[in-house]
A and B are shown apart, each in its own frame.
Chain A
């Protein structure tokens, strides 16, 4: 069998302009461009997307609250070395049932440093799990892509269960049956 084990790309999905990007899942692809196309096919079958990002999963640096709590000194030992910094995106899962969502950006020298900066810069975010990754590693859909990538889903209204009236028909029939069963 041919090796299908292409790199994994994390897919981040934005439902509306004023909402943060959220994690949707992953796709496998040989490069970021195809990852973006796959992401569209796998995660945008419904009209709820204005922007998609993909980033290689192995570039995401992650720590859970459990990992951080086990070694409270770990973060303290990370020091800036005075080397050039770059922008990192910060994502966090804030509630048990929640999804990872975009918190903001930090400038840092490396992934571990970025996480330290994120914890300092966003003290109000009680992250159960944190993700940081370099902004330059992300491939994003552009506003020009909306028409081709996301707009077609909007006319497929039959994917919305609200467009089927099965439930009201069934309820009506069952009520009718109940009344006819009464003596």
Chain B
């Protein structure tokens, strides 16, 4: 809620009436705003999604942050710093959106730091070379943009507005990633090999980012019904492959999927089956970097304690 301080207006409608009206509003393309009636399940699903999304932005700073000191030149370093800073900002926009639903930032941070909350599994894979900055920007952010462009149209006003802002900034992230990939792919044989190795490692985890198949995605139906999502996981994944595969191949890079081919009849790229055992294993916390990411986040939170204390002391002194 945005701080409502004066006597709240009582809603005398029955639950059935409220739900029918809520669903009619969504069907008309209206945005639900804090203060409007919404089903508890809508609120719960949104808090779950938005806070996971916020955590992903925050944890997402780590894999790339590791390469700021190793950027090949000053311009690339400035770009990478700017990008990582954007991710931190995106986390803030999203925590704000979740707060409008009654979640507190403290609860959400606690859930992340205690390991209770989930974040995108992609950030549990390690960054091993500079080429990974290109693969993350192009593949990972490219995949995220597809999801976020959809969410910019979602039925909950504050989430949609945060997404509009994020999408505008993410396009820079994807472009700088493509710029790195192009430079390496068209560079020396060593550079091209480094880029290929990176694509080999990031391609499948990126496809996993879209989540389980629609048939195995328990939340999908209700999320689509209430206009939170407008496309299914599989639809978004297919769009990503259709868009990205031919572009990577035009650069002379190969995609690590022997079953990938363009299907003339459907007009789509056919691709092989994802290793779902790997997916669930990483979701459950057993990915290559789960423990390291959480340890780094906790350390960062502890290291920031003196700043929070200093700010509180300054505010207190100012008031006295």
Binding site for B on A (CB under 8 A): 1-6, 8, 10, 24-31, 33-34, 41-43, 45-46, 56-64, 66-68, 70-71, 74, 93, 96-97, 99, 110-112, 128-129, 131, 156, 158-161, 164-167, 169-170, 173-174, 176-177
Top 5 A-B pairs, shortest CB-CB distance: A30-B315, A58-B3, A166-B178, A164-B175, A31-B315
Bound Cα distance A111, B5 (Å): 9
B35 in complex: contacting residue of A6, A62, A159, CB < 8 Å? A62
* Interface segment, one of B86-94, B125-133, B199-207, B275-283: B86-94
Residues of B within 8 A of A45 (CB): 82, 85-86, 89, 169
Decide yes or no whether B78 CB sits under 8 A from chain A. yes
User: Is A129's CB under 8 angstroms from B305's CB?
Assistant: no
A34 in complex: contacting residue of B34, B79, B174, B311, CB < 8 Å? B311
Bound Cα distance A67, B13 (Å): 12
**A166 and B182 in contact, given A59-B3, A96-B30, A96-B31 (Cβ under 8 angstroms):** yes
Residue of B nearest to A22 (CB): B161
Residue of B nearest to A10 (CB): B2
Residues of B within 8 A of A110 (CB): 6
Bound Cα distance A31, B316 (Å): 9
User: Is B99's CB under 8 angstroms from A26's CB?
Assistant: yes
Residue of A nearest to B97 (CB): A25
Decide yes or no whether B300 CB sits under 8 A from chain A. no
Residues of A within 8 A of B2 (CB): 10, 57, 60, 62, 131
Decide yes or no whether B42 CB sits under 8 A from chain A. no
Residue of A nearest to B3 (CB): A58
Bound Cα distance A111, B9 (Å): 14
* Interface segment, one of B103-111, B216-224, B229-237: B103-111
A2 in complex: contacting residue of B30, B161, B309, CB < 8 Å? B309
In the complex, which of the residues B109, B157, B176 has the most CB atoms of chain A within 10 Å of its own CB atom? B157
Task: Give chain B's interface secondary structure class.
Answer: helix
A29 to chain B, nearest CB (A): 7
Bound Cα distance A133, B29 (Å): 29
Q: Would you give 27 A-B contacts (Cβ < 8 Å), ordered by A?
A: A2-B309, A4-B105, A5-B104, A6-B312, A25-B97, A29-B311, A30-B314, A31-B318, A33-B318, A41-B89, A42-B93, A43-B89, A56-B3, A60-B2, A60-B3, A61-B4, A61-B5, A67-B36, A110-B6, A129-B35, A158-B79, A159-B169, A161-B175, A164-B172, A164-B176, A166-B175, A176-B250
User: Is B29's CB under 8 angstroms from A67's CB?
Assistant: no
User: Is A158's CB under 8 angstroms from B176's CB?
Assistant: yes
Residues of A within 8 A of B35 (CB): 62-64, 66-67, 129
User: Is A4's CB under 8 angstroms from B5's CB?
Assistant: no
B162 to chain A, nearest CB (A): 7
Decide yes or no whether B274 CB sits under 8 A from chain A. no
Bound Cα distance A71, B13 (Å): 11
Residues of B within 8 A of A99 (CB): 161
Decide yes or no whether B75 CB sits under 8 A from chain A. yes
Decide yes or no whether B179 CB sits under 8 A from chain A. yes
Decide yes or no whether B23 CB sits under 8 A from chain A. no
In the complex, which of the residues B2, B9, B93 has the most CB atoms of chain A within 10 Å of its own CB atom? B2
User: Is B33's CB under 8 angstroms from A166's CB?
Assistant: no
**A58 and B5 in contact, given A30-B315, A64-B35 (Cβ under 8 angstroms):** yes
